[in-house]
């Protein structure tokens, strides 16, 4: 039997279901990752509009909760934090889509995790609030997300340990005997992002090319520590809009 429940949620993905319905994957604060069938959402008469379920939207939801069903239903839904800029900024939209794709592919356990939920929400809100100097935000996000996923890099960079070993997650003194490492230059930049936050990230100066080089290595780090992570597609868009 279903019961009514309230939760906030972050839209991860949606697929078409029939002619006028969609199935939406949402990372909820109370229940973790959930699938919701939204019937008739593309109909003009629908009270729930499909625009609510754009990737990265943060929702306030009243849902029908049934533990025995893999797909749940929504009674009411509204935007928690209306976007001030993301919806109208191509660069910011590309960054959000990338952030959500990285997060979605990283989830191993689908159980609720409120600190992780709050981190994702705060990251989206940080991006939305910044008028400029946000080109590094996805790098800070991706590096700090590893704290919640269980493979946060060790902060042991020094003058004698300038190579970051992607396999071991530590800075080492000599070039590793494999290909999964960062050069001293990339390691220096990587450590700066590892020890900075959204307020200070603009102080790290990078070209579009060097930013993408570091991002490619960071995604390699994810694949090494999350075997099911796979290939990210959205970062190719970033290489164009953040060039």
Residue-range domains of the chain with CATH? 3-79 (2.40.50.140), 86-241 (1.20.1440.120)
Sign of the CA dihedral 168, 170, 173, 175?
Answer: positive
Q: What is the pTM of this model?
A: 0.94
Quick: pLDDT tens for 86-143: 988 999 999 999 999 999 999 977 889 999 999 999 999 999 999 999 999 999 999 9
Residues in the chain where the model's pLDDT stays below 70: 243
Q: How far apart are CA 230 and CA 7, in angstroms?
A: 30
pLDDT score of 241: 82
Sign of CA dihedral 192, 194, 198, 199: negative
Task: Note the pLDDT of residue 108.
Answer: 77
What distance in Å separates the CA atoms of residue 83 and residue 135, rounded to the nearest whole number?
18
Q: Which helix (H) or strand (E) is 133 found in, with range?
A: none
Per-residue pLDDT, 161: 97
Q: pLDDT at position 243, please?
A: 67
Which string of b and e fits 187-218 if b means at least 16 CB within 10 Å? bebbbbbbebebeebeeeebeeeebbbbbebb
Task: Give the separation between CA 177 and CA 150, rounded to whole angstroms.
Answer: 25
């Amino acid at each position: 039997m279903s019961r009514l429940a309230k939760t906030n949620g972050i839209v991860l993905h949606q697929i078409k279901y029939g002619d006028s319905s969609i199935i939406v994957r949402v990372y909820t604060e109370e229940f973790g990752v959930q699938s919701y069938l939204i019937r008739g959402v593309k109909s003009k008469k629908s009270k729930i509009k499909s625009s609510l379920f754009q990737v990265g939207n943060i929702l306030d939801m009243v849902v029908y909760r049934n533990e025995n069903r893999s797909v749940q239903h929504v009674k009411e839904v509204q935007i928690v934090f209306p976007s001030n800029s993301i919806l109208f900024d191509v660069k910011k939209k590309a960054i959000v889509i990338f952030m959500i794709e990285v997060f979605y592919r990283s989830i191993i356990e689908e159980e609720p995790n409120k600190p992780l939920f709050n981190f994702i929400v705060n990251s989206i809100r940080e991006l939305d609030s910044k008028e400029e100097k946000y080109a590094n935000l996805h790098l800070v996000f991706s590096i700090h997300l590893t704290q919640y996923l269980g493979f946060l890099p060790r902060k042991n960079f020094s003058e004698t340990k300038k190579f970051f070993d992607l396999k071991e997650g530590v800075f080492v003194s000599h070039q590793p005997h494999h290909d999964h490492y960062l050069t001293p230059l990339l390691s220096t930049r990587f450590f700066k992002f590892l020890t900075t936050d959204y307020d200070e990230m603009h102080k790290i100066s990078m070209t579009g090319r060097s930013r993408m080089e570091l991002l490619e290595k960071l995604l390699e780090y994810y694949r090494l520590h999350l075997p099911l992570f796979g290939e990210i597609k959205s970062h190719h868009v970033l290489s164009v809009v953040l060039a």
